[in-house]
Amino acid sequence: MTLPPGLGRELSAILGKDGFFDDPIHRRVYDSDAYPHEHLAPAAVALPRTVEQVQEVVRACRRHDVSFTPRGAGTGLSGGALPLDGGLQIGLARMHRILDIDPFERVARVEAGVVNLDLKKAAARHGLTFAPDPSSESACTLGGNFAGNSGGPHCLKYGVMLPHVLGAKIVTPEGELLELGGRWDPGEGLDLLALLVGSEGTGGIVVELTLRLVPLEPARSTFLAVFETIDDAASAVSRLVARGIVPAALELVDRVMMQAVEEAYGFGFPVDAGAVLLIEIDGPEAAMPVEAQRIEEICRKKGCREFRTARSDTERAQLWKARKHAFGAVGRLSPNYATQDGVVPRAEIPRICEFIYETARRHGVTVGVVLHAGDGNLHPALFYDERDEESVEAAMKASGEIIGACIELGGSPTGEHGVGLEKREFLPLIYGPTEMAAQADIRDALDPTGRCNPGKVLPGEGGEGDRLRVVGRQVSA
């Protein structure tokens, strides 16, 4: 798609020389996100700095009937920020001011392009934190977190994005400014805020957020429990939860991922173990030893061969680096990998893990698995080489089968990465026609002309951009 004559000039006038780009090099930067597929570049890129600029840009798109797709940091793993029909990309990354932190009310007001970790750092100066912690927290934006209802390891205890959003300002697909909720939301009427959290950029552009902060707990302890088999680790997870223990985080890392991490960072982690559990508890100082003892006992009963406690902040940081940078470490083992994001009921973790390894073996694909085990949310990373068509095909087939199995086991095709482009064909497998029609109606009501992030979330909405490529070859979306 090329922009209609006149729109480029209008957008340049709104955004200034450094806020609008339609040259091939700048556009190329936006032809992908963290979803492992190349895509059509947008026709042009708008990088507004103010709410008014976002409104003016959207209104200009309306006048010229051009579609637009919001983008935060582009760390999304389901292709949500890709402008499918090659329309206008609206990047929010320059709207990155923390507008206000109120330590007494424990509330922050931020622009949508603020990076998640930057808010955490600012809140920490007041003894507070922002709980949702995607592993991409050092890059992803709060607007992207809102759009994806994102979570992270500590969401087992603290919940995903939704309960932490008090209010939002959203530029509607028509260019109006919708102000929802807020610090003292009266809470009357239909809950539009909850409707829009997780709407993946299809209901408008989030420009400002009012967010709940929580106090940093006075104490926390982090443990590494080492198991011979992934089955033992998974059954320890079920037992911990069944015994009423709700750790702040409960993560499982399998042998392949542990080996990748060890090769990358050399922290001295056990590379011969079947799996490890990374367990963190937080709360009052006095509760730590008792809780630690209970957790160790349960893990030992389930076959834990070694139980390490982080003795310092450095050791704790190393444990978390092992988990949060696990996917980065995979780069040493494989030129490419595709991460999946299925969910199963916790009790089904051993079965789905067995299925993942068996499926990968059958397709000749190497797989490494990390799980937000407490939530039954699994992230198998399937290795492939984009220069080798057969390896791409095998990884994509295995990936689809794994998601199919999650659904059959009573789970879902996505836990936190969103539907975006990648998972939209899976939705009718978990919802009936009535639920699908209700979603389509809501979408039409929010965006009657279908210009805002077209082709995402709901199945069957195509665009030129369905010509997705894994470098040089066609794959189905």
Ligand X SMILES: Cc1cc2nc3c(=O)[nH]c(=O)nc-3n(C[C@H](O)[C@H](O)[C@H](O)COP(=O)(O)OP(=O)(O)OC[C@H]3O[C@@H](n4cnc5c(N)ncnc54)[C@H](O)[C@@H]3O)c2cc1C
Residues that bind ligand X (CB under 6 A): 33-34, 69-77, 80-81, 92, 112, 134-136, 140-141, 143-145, 147-148, 150-152, 200-201, 205-206, 327, 416-418, 420, 453
CB of 170 to ligand X, least distance (A): 7
Smaller CB separation from ligand X, 214 or 242: 214
| Under 8 Å between Cβ of 256 and 276 | no
Residue listed under structure tokens 């029909």: 85
DSSP state of 330: G
CB of 16 to ligand X, least distance (A): 20
Q: Provide the phi-psi class of 102: left if phi over 0, else alpha when psi is between -120 and 50, else beta.
A: beta
Amino acid sitting at position 245: I
What distance in Å separates the CA atoms of residue 441 and residue 199, rounded to the nearest whole number? 14
CB of 323 to ligand X, least distance (A): 10
Q: Kindly state the tokens that stand for 88.
A: 């206008």
Smaller CB separation from ligand X, 144 or 342: 144
Nearest by Cα to 470 from 431, 426, 422: 422
What distance in Å separates the CA atoms of residue 79 and residue 451, rounded to the nearest whole number? 17
Q: Kindly state the tokens that stand for 271.
A: 């590379």
Residue listed under structure tokens 């983008």: 71
| Under 8 Å between Cβ of 99 and 211 | no
Q: Which residues is 106 bridged to in the sheet?
A: none
Smaller CB separation from ligand X, 34 or 382: 34
- What 3-state class would DSSP assign to 109? strand
CB of 378 to ligand X, least distance (A): 12
DSSP state of 136: T
Smaller CB separation from ligand X, 141 or 235: 141
The pairing of beta strand 44-46 with beta strand 88-91: parallel
CB of 179 to ligand X, least distance (A): 15
What distance in Å separates the CA atoms of residue 435 and residue 441, rounded to the nearest whole number? 10
Smaller CB separation from ligand X, 304 or 368: 368
CB of 103 to ligand X, least distance (A): 25
Smaller CB separation from ligand X, 76 or 86: 76
Smaller CB separation from ligand X, 72 or 380: 72
- CB neighbour list of residue 56: distance below 8 Å, 6 or more residues apart: 14, 175
CB of 165 to ligand X, least distance (A): 12
Smaller CB separation from ligand X, 350 or 418: 418
CB of 312 to ligand X, least distance (A): 25
Amino acid sitting at position 246: V
How far the first Cα of the chain sits from its last, in Å, is 20
Smaller CB separation from ligand X, 206 or 427: 206
The alpha carbon of residue 470 and the mean position of all alpha carbons in its chain are separated, in whole angstroms, by 21
CB of 364 to ligand X, least distance (A): 25
